[in-house]
Each structure stands twice: as structure tokens, then as C-alpha cells.
Structure 1
Amino acid sequence: MKRFFIGSLAVVGALSILLFGSLVGLFILGASNKPSVPGQVVLELELDERLVEYVPEDSLASAFGSERLTVRDVVDALERAGGDERVKGLVVKVNGTPGSTAVVQELRDAVKAFRATGKKAVAYAETFGESGNATGGYYLASAFDEVYVQPSGEVSVTGVAIETPFARDALAKLGVKPRMSKRHEYKAAVNTYTEQTYTAPHREETERFLTSLFGQMVKGVAEGRGLSEEQARAAVDAAPLLAQEALEAKLVDGLLYRDEVYAKVKEATGGKAELLYLEKYLERAGRPNRTGTQTVALIYGAGEISRGQSRANPMSGDVVMGSDSVAAAFRKAVEDARVKAIVFRVDSPGGSYVASDSVRREVQRAREQGKPVIVTMGSYAASGGYFVAMDADKIVAQPGTLTGSIGVYNGKMVTADFWEKLGVNWEPLGAGKNATMYSSDADFTPEQHAKNEASLDRVYADFTGKAAAGRKMPLEKMQEVAKGRVWTGEDAKAHGLVDELGGFPVALRLAKEAAKLEGPVRVEVFPRKKGAAEVLSELLGEKQGDNSEDAASGVRMTAPWQPVLEQTQALYRLGVKLGMVGEQRRQVLSAPVPDTTW
């Protein structure tokens, strides 16, 4: 019996080894049979949804559907294609606005660089807006060689707009009293709760923000379409335009259906080129900047800033910038002898003051260790997002990046009257004179209010002082451009908050210059990519890494079975915002990101 049992185990073991070997063999065979890029191709891209800034490389997002296309994916693919003789052209279907003004500008730069290699780029749309604003989508299309719209479509380039809700009176009717303080007058994050209309500073900064964006868009359209800025502005003021009107205004080159556009594209390449999705091309051809012997680290700081590890939801694509993860990524890059410089991509409206300072400290330490740090800003790098960037060697932003907002706010909502209307009595008890200071059941005492104001003064002084030192600017000058005010990247550069305008390529060029690197370099994302087994075990609750450095450098994936919990948490956060639920307040370095309609 014992012999039979041992023999059975041996058979099972042998079968297991055989099965494992077969799976490995299939994997190797699949890898060896990976499709290649055809000899002649026209790259094809469909922009159906907004591009995301960052998908963690250890994400399992692809297991729950197609992995979202990132801004860097498109930029890298077009850079790679520009020098690839197999690529004969590019055709893009614009179904909407692919992102913020800064994202569109990053894509426009990539398209123009692709065209500069002598290759043709064509954009088309069924319609640029259908009873809606499509200025962003058309702004992107205007960077292409040719633009087409379906005869039944329209070109709705009506401009840029922001709608801001103000709920002071509504909160008063509910019995909620906002007790919020800010530094300084342009810090508009709390105005939704404390005001019923724009304050003079809030209106001033918002109107200037819109004017700057609109000017950038008009200039870009005029240059792309060979018009004067006056003609471009006149077209916007006349929009929405029917397809024929857009053709007469020289906003499009023809009124064609999809099949007619593709026929023209194929004819221009001699009829021999095959179509290939841009994302498939990137997968097969590989990214640029992968063969150099010297390494430039790329670190992402995306999402709201909080203490702890970065977090990502594989279902929604939402990410949070955790100070532990980003700080550890910097330490790993500094310790790696191959890394000669660091590019830090920041795309954040801000968040925790303490967490922002933790990241800023690692940027500072990297420079002290001889590793230059170049920041490239995405859609926004405001408040805490600017805090983490301000100690870099150089800061690069797109003209339309929302940045600055050097300020702080905190406070609480007093909800005692609201709960009284519902017949609910919250009765806080505490041991300690100020134990219930942030309770939503009672207003601040004069002494507590003074403490809160002193805390804001300290944080604001720290922010402006460190910003002035990081930007090598006199404190008095920094205090003039701070005050919680948001700027476009274009205006931020004029005021010394940004060094150059552009995106990834500009940041990489500056990184090479700062580190005195010549020739090709290898761009490597930090932290390292986790294996699928590590990610799965993490989702199951197993702690990863042999020590705190290893554990902190990763991104904590949100388990796919958490949507219900997250919805509950979202309702809780809404309650906190409206003051229905009490929550202790901390110093917040955050800027409201305007929902710009364009």
C-alpha cells in the first residue's frame, strides 16, 4: 500500500511537471510567434474616450478589459513611428475631446513632430460636436495635415467655459454652517461652500485662466489651418457651424465619410500599406528610448496626494499618489547606479500637506545625491501638486497646464442645526480641552479659531518660503504670485513658476542636459514592475516585500470586489463635503480642478 501511495505521488508529480513544461513551452511558442509590424503600415487611432495619465505597470487592469491608453503611450508610439521606415502615415478618428487642454497640447506636439519627419497625418470625425461643444477635439485635429468631417456633421468650436456651483444658501437652509479658512484670497477651493457667487479674486483668476486657454487654442487653430488669429476667432464666434459652413471657413479640408477618408489615405501611400492600430504598433515595435546604456528614471506622481502607499483601482483606472510609494521610488532611483537623472511626471490637484512635503523632501535629496530631477506637468500640478514639484532642477508644463495655487485651506462644517431638524442629537464627549475641536456638532471657540488660523499661517509661510527657495526667487516676489492663485502653464512661465513649455520630450532633453548625457538613453519607470503573482497575492491581502522600502515602493491595487465598499465610501465623503458627517480636518494643499467645457 505504501509503495502504491508513493508511486501515485510520483505519477502526479510527473504529470504536474509535464503540464508545467507544456505551459512554458506554449508561452515560449506564443512569444516567438508574436505578430510583427508589416513592411508598410498606416497607423490608426480612435480617440473614443479621455486618455489617462498613468496606469501602474503592476496593474491587472487588462484582466478586467482592455487596458486604458495613456498620454505617454500615444506620444511614445508617434515618436517611435516617426523614425520607422515601415510607417507611412497616420489616420485618427476624433470622437470627442481626449482630455484637458494640456493633454491635447501634448498630443498636438507629438503629431507635429511626427509630421516633421515627412509623414502625413490625417484627422477625421463624423462630427465635431453634436449639440455640444467640441472645441478640444477640433483643437487636436487642427494640428494634422488634413481634417475631414462627415457631410451631415458639424464643427462646434464654441470656445471654453467653466461653470462653478455655489451652495452657501443651500447649506444654510439645511442648517449647515461652513467654518472654513484659507490662505489667501485666490484660494477658491472653499468658495463653493462659503459663497453664493464669485468673489472678485475668484472671478479674476477664473476669467484670466479661461482667457489664456482660449488664446492658446485660437493661436493653435490659426497656425494649423493657415488662418489669421482674427479669422480663427471669427469662426469660433460663428460656431456651431454646419459642415459646409466649416468648409467655407477653411476649418476642414473636405466633407467625407469614413470610407472616403480611408480611400484617400491608402491612395496617398500607393495602396500597399496595411492599417495597424497605434497601440498594437507600440506593443510590437516597442517604445523609444529603450536601448541606451545610460538610464533616466521616470517616476509618476498622479492623483490626489495622500499619506501611505499609492493606490489604483483596476476597474475604474482611478489612482492616488501615496507619499510612501513615490518617496520610495525616488530612493530606489537614487540608489541605482545606472540612473543618471530622474523625470518626475506630476498630474495632481494636490492633497495632504504632510504627504506633499514627504515627496518634496525626496526630490530635494535626489538632487543632493547628484541625480538631477526634471518635472513634467500633465493636466494639473496645483497646490500640493506644485509643492512636490517646486524643488526640481527644472519644471516643464504645457501652456494649458493648471498649476500654482500656492495656498492652503482647512476648517469644518458645523451641522448641529441640520441634525436637530432631523431629530438627531450628536453629543460629543472628550478628555482634553480641545479633544472635540473638529467635532461638527459645535463651532470653534475663539481660542480654537485662533489656533486654526495660526496653523494656516504656519503652513502658508512654509509653502511660500520653500517655493521661493526652490525656484530661487525673492520671497516678496513669490508672495505676489502665490495667494492661492491658479495659473495656466503659459502664465506660470511668465511669472517664474515654470521653466519651459512642453511635455515628455522636452523634459527628457532637459534631463539629459542636466546629467550631461549624450546619445540614446534608456527610460525606465520606477518602481519596478511587479509580477502577476505578486499583484494577485497582494489583492488577497498578503504583504509584499522583504522590508519597508520594498513594500512602500509599489502601488496597492484595489481589489475588484470592492466597488460596493467604494460606493459607500463615496457617499460618506459626499456627506463630509456637505457637512452631514463630521470628519477631523487637516491642512489641505488642494486646488479645485475646473470642469472646463470645450
Structure 2
Amino acid sequence: MKRFIVGALAVIGALSLLSVAGLILLLMVAAASKPSVPGTLVLELELDQPLLEQVPDDSLAGAFGPKRATVRDVVEALEKGAQDPRVKSLLVHIDQPGGIAVAQELRDAVKAFRASGKKAVAFTDTFGEGGSATGAYYLATAFDEIYLQPSGDVTLTGVSVETPFARDAFAKLGVQPRIGQRYEYKNAVNTYTEQGYTASHREATEKFLGSLFGQVVRGIAEGRKLSEDEVKGLIDRAPLLGQAALEAKLVDGLLYRDEVLAKVKEEAGKSAQLLFLDKYLDRSGGPSEAGETVALVYGVGGIVRGKSESNPLGGDASFGAESVALALRKASEDKDVKAILFRVDSPGGSYVASDTVRREVQRAREKGKPVIVSMATYAASGGYFVSMGADKIVAQPGTLTGSIGVYGGKMVTADFWAKLGINFETLSIGKDATLYSTDSDFTPEQQAKNDASLDRVYTDFTQKAAEGRHLPLEKLQAVARGRVWTGEDAKELGLVDELGGFPKALELVREAAKLPKDAKVHLQVFPRKKQPAEVIADILGGGEGDNSEDERGAQAAALSPLIPALAQTRQMYQLGARLGLWGPPHGTLQAPLPETRW
């Protein structure tokens, strides 16, 4: 019997080895037979969900399954396609472009593609169904032609902000906000402390919206060869049915998808084939690795102390100061790196964490590595703090930036728990052991300590901002006070240097690194992207580096057989999320930046 068991195990082992060998052989064959790029092609892009800035390294969303396109992917693919004689045109199905800064980045990329002499066509079944599609249409106006399904509409209704105010609700619940702010424009806390817009909150929001609206109107007018007054009139008439939109010159034709595809392919040539933009980038070799190395460091999400983390299944990420600071350190120490491009997309977060990253930007510059910041959708509060010490700052006209200010305090919940019949009793040693306890209000002395803390942070923020931006402190303080600005306004105020996206930032990189204007550069992401096995090892508690300066985890090749199972698990998680079976915990209190509806 024992011999039989040993023999059976041997057979199983042999079969396992053969299976592994067969799998390796199949992978080699697949790699060797990688599809090529057609001789004549039309680049195709489906904007059915907002583009990401970055796919987190520790996310299974980045390791398995269909790859989510990033803003940089699209920009680089269009740059490559513009110079590729095989690429005849571009076709984009526009549904959800994301925020205004992303739309502006894409508009710039499409315009550059068209400048090479190639045609760009936008198509959608409808611009908005039951909601505004001003953003989608604004993006579409950067294309040569816009086609709309005959049954579609153009819901070009403008821009708006809806801000919730819950002071009375908190009062009914027995919750007392005790949150200080510096200063009157630091309005995130108003959700808790007010029941409507204060004068300063309204002033700042209306100014912000006015700037965005002006950008949208000018862009549409330029793209559709209309006057700004005509565009404003059409916005007031919207939503417009398909035929009315055609007569108003907002679209170039009412066609179904199959008709648009046939038209585009016929114009490109009989042998033309459609190829998704990400497939083209992959098959054509991706971004060129020739030229001088420029480090690309991402700072995406809410800023927290410690390491960047993400929901490994969903992909939502935090901006961990320790991780981003390490990436900046590694880039500054790499002798091949000529400069650092720091891409920031953050509404802020921890003051201490923000200062950790700001310090590494400063140290990189002291080591002779220029740092250029490229702001995406948000670079506000802590997002501005990490940016302000760079050599130059580039923002899109619609980037939400500034918010140089601070808030902090606590929510007193004693009355709320009492209404539920729950009593908390606290034992403490130390005069202010309960300083930030939510079960007791601030004493006058504790309130003074909280105020002093806010004053210290605000003073530090404004002084470092003035130093980093080379502005007199009085001038900086006049545009601070917690106020948010569009990138367009921020440039006029000296808070940013230039308007644009990746291409403009790379112009400044070449200038700062003393490279020729037409010098080729290779963008190298720091830290390197993790392999799937490393992602799994981190999730399971492995992957620890040798020391705190090592961003590379231990290789976890033994976990590779688990990859298919983890991919299936990810698919099940996403299905459950769509069905509402799980999600973020209820009752989380947040005061996010107001979402612009457009």
C-alpha cells in the first residue's frame, strides 16, 4: 500500500511538472505570436468610464483582468499615433470623460493629434440621458467631427455645484460640531456647521464656477466656430433634440454607430482596421525608452501618513506619504534620472504627511534634480502643500487648486448616545487626556489649544508657500485663507506657473534639466510596478523589503498558481459591489470637495 501511495504521488508530481512545462511553452508561443499592428488602422477609444491617473501597484485591478486606461496612456498613444504613418484617424465614443481637468488634458492631446494632419471623430448615442453632459460635449468639440445617434440629445446645460449642509440634522441627532477653520474660505467644514452658504463660501464657489463656465464656453465656441454668445444661448435652450442640435451646428450628423464606423473606415482606406488605443500602445512597443530618463512619481488620493494603500480588489487608493516620499528619494538618488515629474491629483489630507512629501521635493532639488509638478483634477490643501516647493507647477485651467488653509476639531456625540440610551463613562489621568474625546465638549482652555494648533499650521503653510512660490508673504496670504481657485485663476495669482498637462510639464522638465527643446525623454515610473505575485504576497502579509529604503518586496513566485483564482475572486467582488452586497462602511463622516456637475 505504501509503495502504491508513493507511486501515485510520483505520477501526480510528474503530471504537475508536465503541466507547468506545457503552460510555459504556451506562454512562449503566445508571446512569439503576439498580434501585430495593422498596416492601415483607425485608433479607437471607448470613454465609457472616467480615466484613471494611476492604477495602484497593490491593486489586483492593475494586476489581472482588463487593463484600465490611464490619462498618460491616452496622451502617449495619441502622441505615438500622430507620428505613425499606419494610423490614419481617431474614433472616440464619448460617454464619461471625467472631471474638467481630465477633459482638458484629452482635448489638448486630440488637438495635437489633429495638428499632425490626421482626422479625429467623436461619436455618442446621446449627450446625456436624465443628466447634464456638458463635460462630454465640451470634450467632443476638440474633434474634427461630432456624430450623434438620431434618437439622442445634447444636454448642454452648464455647470453647477450642489453642497449639502447638515447643521440642523446634527442638532436633531444630538451631535455638536466643534471644528475650527483657517480662515473664512476653508469651507469643507460648513457641511457640518452651517445650513446654507456663508457669504465667503458663496463668493468663492461662484467665482470658481464662473471660471469653469467661461472655459467651457470658450472651448465650445472655438471648436464649433460659434460666438460665445451663441454658445451661451444654446446652453440656455438645452437640452436639444438631435435635429435641433444639428441645425444649431452642435453636431455634424445624426448617424448610428454602424454608420459612423463605415464612414470612418471608408475615409481611412478599404483595408483600414479598427484598433483600440491601449492595444495599439501595447503592440507598437509602448512609449519609447530612448532618450534621457525622467522619473514620473504619482501622488494620487487623500494624503495619509504611512504607506499608500488601496482596496486591492476595487483599486481605490490613498496617497501614502511614506510611499511617495520613498519614490521621490529613489528618483533623486538615481544617477540616470535627469529630473522628476511629480503628477499630483489630491484634495488634501494630513498636514504632517503633506510636509513629509514636501521635504522630499526640497531634498531632491538640493541634490540637483529639478522637480516639475503636473496638477490633475485636484491639487488642493495638502495637494498644494506637496506641490508648492517644486521648480515649476503646471495645472490645467480647470484644476481645483489652492485651498491654503486648515481645519480641525471634533464632533461631540454625548447627546446622541444618550438618546439611544447609551452612556459612556470615562476615566482618565492627565489634565487634557480627553482633549479629543467625542464624549465631551472642549473646555475654554482646550478650545484655545485647538485654535493654537490651527494657527501654527496655517502660519507654517503660508510661510512655506510664500517661500516656495517666491511671493511676498502678504501677497500669498491675500490669496490663501482656505480659498480654492481654478488653475486659470491660480496662474494669474502666481500660485502656478503654466497651464497645460503632460506635454507642457515635459517642456518645463527639458528646460529645467538643460536639455534641448526637442530632446527625447523616457518617463520611468518610480517606484517600479509590482508583479502580480508580489501583489498577492503583500495582501497575504509578505513582500517585506530588506529595509525602510527598499521599495522592492521579496519575490513571491511560489504564489503564481494562485493568480487565476485571485482573478476570479476579483470578478466576484466587482459583481457583488454592483449588486450592493458590500461597500464602504455606513456612517462614515466626510467633507469632500464639492463635486462639480457638468
- In structure 1, the residue matched to 2:521 is 521
- In structure 2, the residue matched to 1:347 is 345
Partner letter of residue 312 of structure 2?
Answer: P
1:32-181 matches, within 5 Å, as 32-57=32-57, 59-61=59-61, 65-95=65-95, 97-181=96-180
1:26 shift after superposition: 2.4
Aligned equivalents of 2:3 and 2:148: distance in 1?
78
Return closer, same or farther for 1:205/1:175 CA change in 2, 3 Å cut-off. same
Aligned equivalents of 2:210 and 2:12: distance in 1?
72
Partner letter of residue 444 of structure 1?
Answer: F
Return closer, same or farther for 1:562/1:29 CA change in 2, 3 Å cut-off. closer
- In structure 2, the residue matched to 1:440 is 438
Instruction: Check the 8 A contact 2:145/2:252 in 1, yes or no.
Output: yes
Verify: 1:210 aligned to 2:224, yes or no: no
1:47 shift after superposition: 1.2
Residue 188 of structure 2 aligns to a residue in which SS? coil
**1:539-585 deviation digits (Å, cap 9, x = unpaired):** 1111421111224899xx9x96999999999436x3555xxxxxxxx
Return the TM-score normalized by structure 2: 0.92
1:429 shift after superposition: 1.6
Aligned equivalents of 2:547 and 2:583: distance in 1?
30
Return closer, same or farther for 1:543/1:265 CA change in 2, 3 Å cut-off. closer
- In structure 1, the residue matched to 2:186 is 187
Aligned equivalents of 2:84 and 2:539: distance in 1?
40
Residue 213 of structure 1 aligns to a residue in which SS? helix
1:131 shift after superposition: 2.7
Instruction: Check the 8 A contact 2:393/2:498 in 1, yes or no.
Output: yes
- In structure 2, the residue matched to 1:487 is 485
- In structure 1, the residue matched to 2:267 is 268
Return closer, same or farther for 1:3/1:163 CA change in 2, 3 Å cut-off. closer
**1:166-204 deviation digits (Å, cap 9, x = unpaired):** 000111111111111000000001000000110111000
Instruction: Check the 8 A contact 1:55/1:68 in 2, yes or no.
Output: yes
**1:363-396 deviation digits (Å, cap 9, x = unpaired):** 0000000000000011000000000000000000
1:74 shift after superposition: 1.2
Aligned equivalents of 1:545 and 1:287: distance in 2?
29
Aligned equivalents of 1:398 and 1:237: distance in 2?
26
Instruction: Check the 8 A contact 1:53/1:72 in 2, yes or no.
Output: yes
Instruction: Check the 8 A contact 2:179/2:407 in 1, yes or no.
Output: yes
Instruction: Check the 8 A contact 2:57/2:535 in 1, yes or no.
Output: no
1:426 to 424, 427, 431: 424
Return closer, same or farther for 1:532/1:287 CA change in 2, 3 Å cut-off. same
Aligned equivalents of 2:58 and 2:420: distance in 1?
47
Return closer, same or farther for 1:498/1:552 CA change in 2, 3 Å cut-off. farther
Aligned equivalents of 2:13 and 2:420: distance in 1?
67
- In structure 1, the residue matched to 2:303 is 305
Aligned equivalents of 1:568 and 1:468: distance in 2?
45
Partner letter of residue 77 of structure 2?
Answer: A
Partner letter of residue 175 of structure 1?
Answer: G
1:263-412 matches, within 5 Å, as 263-292=262-291, 294-412=292-410
- In structure 1, the residue matched to 2:585 is 571
Instruction: Check the 8 A contact 2:340/2:369 in 1, yes or no.
Output: yes
Instruction: Check the 8 A contact 2:55/2:315 in 1, yes or no.
Output: yes
1:232 shift after superposition: 1.2
Residue 272 of structure 1 aligns to a residue in which SS? coil
Partner letter of residue 547 of structure 2?
Answer: N
Aligned equivalents of 1:568 and 1:139: distance in 2?
35
Aligned equivalents of 1:69 and 1:521: distance in 2?
22
Return closer, same or farther for 1:64/1:543 CA change in 2, 3 Å cut-off. closer
Aligned equivalents of 2:271 and 2:403: distance in 1?
53
1:266 shift after superposition: 1.5
- In structure 1, the residue matched to 2:560 is none
Aligned equivalents of 1:485 and 1:567: distance in 2?
39
**1:125-152 deviation digits (Å, cap 9, x = unpaired):** 1111123210000001000000111111
Return closer, same or farther for 1:315/1:10 CA change in 2, 3 Å cut-off. closer
Instruction: Check the 8 A contact 1:543/1:551 in 2, yes or no.
Output: no
Sequence identity percentage = 66
Residue 53 of structure 1 aligns to a residue in which SS? coil
1:509 shift after superposition: 1.5
- Mean Cα displacement is larger for which, 488-497 or 543-552? 543-552
- In structure 2, the residue matched to 1:585 is none
Aligned equivalents of 1:400 and 1:113: distance in 2?
19
Residue 550 of structure 1 aligns to a residue in which SS? coil
- In structure 1, the residue matched to 2:559 is none
- In structure 1, the residue matched to 2:557 is none
- In structure 2, the residue matched to 1:581 is none
**1:32-70 deviation digits (Å, cap 9, x = unpaired):** 111111000001111111111110345421566423221
Return the TM-score normalized by structure 1: 0.92
- In structure 1, the residue matched to 2:563 is none
Partner letter of residue 467 of structure 1?
Answer: A
Residue 38 of structure 1 aligns to a residue in which SS? coil
Partner letter of residue 362 of structure 1?
Answer: E
Residue 93 of structure 2 aligns to a residue in which SS? strand
1:335 shift after superposition: 1.3
Partner letter of residue 597 of structure 2?
Answer: T
Aligned equivalents of 1:53 and 1:311: distance in 2?
15
Aligned equivalents of 1:553 and 1:304: distance in 2?
24
Aligned equivalents of 1:381 and 1:63: distance in 2?
27
Q: How many residue pairs align between the two structures?
A: 580
Aligned equivalents of 1:66 and 1:568: distance in 2?
22
- Mean Cα displacement is larger for which, 25-34 or 379-388? 25-34
1:153 shift after superposition: 1.0
Return closer, same or farther for 1:543/1:39 CA change in 2, 3 Å cut-off. closer
Aligned equivalents of 2:152 and 2:522: distance in 1?
44
1:288 shift after superposition: 2.9
Instruction: Check the 8 A contact 1:160/1:596 in 2, yes or no.
Output: yes
- Mean Cα displacement is larger for which, 256-265 or 14-23? 14-23
Aligned equivalents of 1:380 and 1:509: distance in 2?
21
Instruction: Check the 8 A contact 1:378/1:398 in 2, yes or no.
Output: yes
Return closer, same or farther for 1:236/1:71 CA change in 2, 3 Å cut-off. same
- In structure 2, the residue matched to 1:416 is 414
Partner letter of residue 513 of structure 1?
Answer: E
1:299 shift after superposition: 0.4
Gaps of 5+ in 1: 578-590
Verify: 1:23 aligned to 2:23, yes or no: yes
**1:475-512 deviation digits (Å, cap 9, x = unpaired):** 00000010000000000000000100000111112111
Instruction: Check the 8 A contact 1:328/1:553 in 2, yes or no.
Output: no
Instruction: Check the 8 A contact 1:61/1:67 in 2, yes or no.
Output: yes
Instruction: Check the 8 A contact 2:59/2:314 in 1, yes or no.
Output: no
Instruction: Check the 8 A contact 2:56/2:62 in 1, yes or no.
Output: no
Aligned equivalents of 1:270 and 1:46: distance in 2?
22
Aligned equivalents of 1:10 and 1:212: distance in 2?
73
Aligned equivalents of 2:136 and 2:377: distance in 1?
16
Residue 329 of structure 2 aligns to a residue in which SS? helix
